[in-house]
Amino acid sequence: MEFKSVVLILSIHGVVINRDPPTTTTVFRCVGASLSDRHILTAASCLNDIPDTHVPAIQVIPATGNPTIHPVARSLRHPDFLETLGLRNNLVILELENDRRLDTNVFRGQNIGDLHTGISCNLHGFNSSMVANPGNIAVTTIGPPACIHDNDQLFCSTAPSQEICLQIFGGFPLICGEGGTINAITITNCAGPLHEIQYHNVGQFRSWIEGVVSGAESLKKLSIAVLFSTFLISLRNFL
């Protein structure tokens, strides 16, 4: 299965931009999946402890050509997320500037699905520097009561090995069906002696996710309408 038809993976970095001399330095943080050409979903904890000298940004590394940096205009954390309680409500939507949208010919937004216990899924994001063809592993989902943490928001699965477990970062999307739908994203890795990979069921947060994305698009349309109305009023006054 061709990866880019399944889900979009993007590298999320803290970026240092120096004005004199003009240079850009990236520090890898997490990966994320596209919700629209302006919105990327990942774990909110990925933005913890980013220094004031850095700004969050999306790095797009195409199969051919040079990487491009898309600075994040807004970081919209889940309203109930707390850094001290990182295993709950650990989601953030990164919003890009209007003029730095993703190429929808390459990257398409994903739908939000639900996660269930005891099903086979694919965890995507390995070798995320290769956006055109990152790797994936097959996992079987385990429901919240059987995971190491007593947390009704956490699903989990067992990593095939500690080596693989250590390659997992926040925001890896879990796909449990046909391409185009995200069922979960990774929150932590290597928990406990069985090297649990832990996930948030994104379906549990569907109303918040869809509200953020649709709200931003509605605001953009409103801004265009206001601008057009202002232009008409100005033109009428001029005439």
- Residues 32, 46, single domain; the answer is yes
- Residues 69, 103, single domain; the answer is yes
- Residues 24, 99, single domain; the answer is yes
Higher pLDDT, 56 or 11: 56
Higher pLDDT, 83 or 133: 83
In this prediction, residue 62 carries a pLDDT of: 63
Instruction: Please check whether residue 7 is in contact with residue 179, taking contact to mean a CB–CB distance below 8 angstroms.
Output: yes
**CATH code (residue 82):** 2.40.10.10
* Domain-terminating residue out of 91, 108, 125: 108
Task: Give the Cα separation of 130 and 40 in Å (integer).
Answer: 17
- Residues 89, 129, single domain; the answer is no
In this prediction, residue 206 carries a pLDDT of: 94
- Residues 82, 179, single domain; the answer is no
For 157-179, give one letter per residue: b (16+ CB within 10 A) or e: bebeeeebbebbbbbbbbbbeee
In this prediction, residue 183 carries a pLDDT of: 93
Domain count for the chain: 2
- Residues 81, 151, single domain; the answer is no
| DSSP-derived secondary structure letter, 33 | E
Is residue 5 pLDDT above 60, yes or no?
A: no
Task: Give the Cα separation of 118 and 112 in Å (integer).
Answer: 19
Residue labelled with tokens 């989990």: 156
Residue labelled with tokens 């006054």: 237
Higher pLDDT, 134 or 191: 191
Chain mean pLDDT for the chain: 77
- Residues 11, 103, single domain; the answer is yes
Could you read off the pLDDT of 108-125 as tens digits, one per residue?
A: 778 899 999 999 999 987
- Residues 62, 148, single domain; the answer is no
- Residues 101, 174, single domain; the answer is no
User: Residue 61's beta-bridge partner residues?
Assistant: none
Confidence of residue 80 (pLDDT cuts 50, 70, 90): very high
Higher pLDDT, 178 or 111: 111
Task: Give the Cα separation of 200 and 110 in Å (integer).
Answer: 16
Residue 126 domain boundaries: 111-202
Looking at residues 197-208, what average pLDDT do you find? Answer: 94
Pairing of strands 111-112, 181-182: parallel
Task: Give the Cα separation of 111 and 179 in Å (integer).
Answer: 9
Confidence of residue 140 (pLDDT cuts 50, 70, 90): very high
- Residues 56, 122, single domain; the answer is no
Omega of the bond prior to 21 within 30 degrees of 0, cis? yes
Instruction: Please check whether residue 155 is in contact with residue 143, taking contact to mean a CB–CB distance below 8 angstroms.
Output: yes
Is residue 188 pLDDT above 70, yes or no?
A: yes
Distances (CA, A) of 236 to 176, 222, 225, 233: 56, 21, 16, 5
Assess if residue 7 is contained within a domain.
yes
In Å, how far from its chain's centre is CA 145? 26
Looking at residues 71-75, what average pLDDT do you find? Answer: 89
Distances (CA, A) of 11 to 46, 81, 134, 235: 11, 22, 11, 45
Instruction: Please check whether residue 91 is in contact with residue 185, taking contact to mean a CB–CB distance below 8 angstroms.
Output: yes
Assess if residue 221 is contained within a domain.
no
In this prediction, residue 236 carries a pLDDT of: 45
Is residue 146 pLDDT above 80, yes or no?
A: yes
Task: Give the Cα separation of 70 and 72 in Å (integer).
Answer: 6
Confidence of residue 131 (pLDDT cuts 50, 70, 90): very low
Could you read off the pLDDT of 153-167 as tens digits, one per residue?
A: 999 999 888 888 888
